Structure 1
Amino acid sequence: MVAPPDNDVIWARALHHAHNGSPALAGVSLGVRKGEVLAVCGPRGSGKTTLLRCLSGQTLADEGEVWFDGSPVHTLPPLQRERLRRDHFAWIGPEPGLVPELTAWENTALPLLLRGTSRRSAKATALEWLERLDIGHLARHRPHALNQAQRQRTTAARALAATPGVLFADEPTASLHRSDHAHLLRTVLAAARSHRVTVVLATHDPEVAALADRTAVLVDGRRVTSLTDTAPEGRAECSLSV
């Protein structure tokens, strides 16, 4: 076991993982510095979601190591990995995933309440983040009364309200109209940067990748330096800053 570099809050070495015998990751290594926004970029099916799930402790890689803040994630038992995700990580997926019975502010406050934060304090924090994402006026609405973009903003507010050490965002604008893409991401990334939240962002969209500080590119489960000669014709490519 090799200790990670001191300046990397997330560090992975030689990750291998397969789904039903089909390789999803094949020896991927990377590091993410504290406060950095890293875009994990590549065509659909290149292993981006699997990598984020392994980095966040949702999935154990078949081989390799994952470290968070100098501690090994890959050797933690399930309960400790769950606590790590609850206390230090947040996740925004391509679909909102809100609790339908809860209002927007209650959904946003939920991670704080699960940590034991008082209801009053959790509500105040939730309302603050909903305002930052321009949906404070919808705080008492339940998900069915919100449109898709508003539900995804609520999901982003929930992730940021928990002040995570690392925010994992897996194609967070995939379900939105293009006009909503940039506004949501710029707001989320500005908030993350102002609070020194590390962001690992999976995307196949070059416009989304361009908002990151740095880009790591995957093709067929492997990390590469260029998509020019490896991406199949017609598939989206990302601008690179490797």
Structure 2
Amino acid sequence: MSQSIFISGAAQGIGAAIARLFYQQGYKVGIYDINVDQAQLLADQLGSNAKAGQLDVSQYDQWQDALKDFVTWAGELNILVNNAGILYSGDFEKTDITAHHRTININVNGVLNGCHAALLYLKKAKFARVINLSSASAIYGQADLVSYSASKFAVRGITEGLDIEWQKYGIRVLDVMPLFVQTAMVKDMDAGSIKNIGVHLSTQDVAEQIFALAKAKGTILTATHTPVGLKSKIMFQLSNISPQFLNRLGNIVLTKRK
């Protein structure tokens, strides 16, 4: 039986790239998104081993319905990718508080909901893995991206905790930490960091890293966090060895508006 993958926020961007790559590799692919029409369009383009469905990740009951729907169709759930996320940029105080709350609700509660609702099915599978979309913004808190950065720190914490806790079930919980990726999310983004660093990663770069993590055999040797791209890897390594004041100074320089 083919292995299966369920992807949240899969109708476009990184999620769609993940869906295409895993479909090409013979997986049964679940394309679930709040934009169900766009999700269905992608599923139709891919073929009979793709299934689309409605999912607002902030709603736990929708996760329950979507996962039940998917597993009934696919047979079991092997890979869960918590990809859905949003981003607001600009001065913290000029961003409406409802936007900050929405960021946390989707980016954090969406991952909590997904992991919690999926465990029932992951425990039953012969092979199961969770891969969360964190970010290089979870290496050090980012100016102009405060609530987004905070949400990705939360994803990092969820990943670390569950990767330890779910050892008893034989389930690894991993994340990827890309820098800015060429998607609609970063178009017209108002943050000094993106102006200084630029956007060098493609959705395919992230999808390929997620595929590598899905296929990795080692249950112990596979790192919990995987930075994506050279700049992200350098930032991640430096943050682990640099004193806090240097990390802060580096991020002040990095995010300074030109």
More helix by share: 2
More strand by share: 1
- What is the TM-score with the length of structure 2 in the denominator? 0.32
- What is the TM-score with the length of structure 1 in the denominator? 0.33
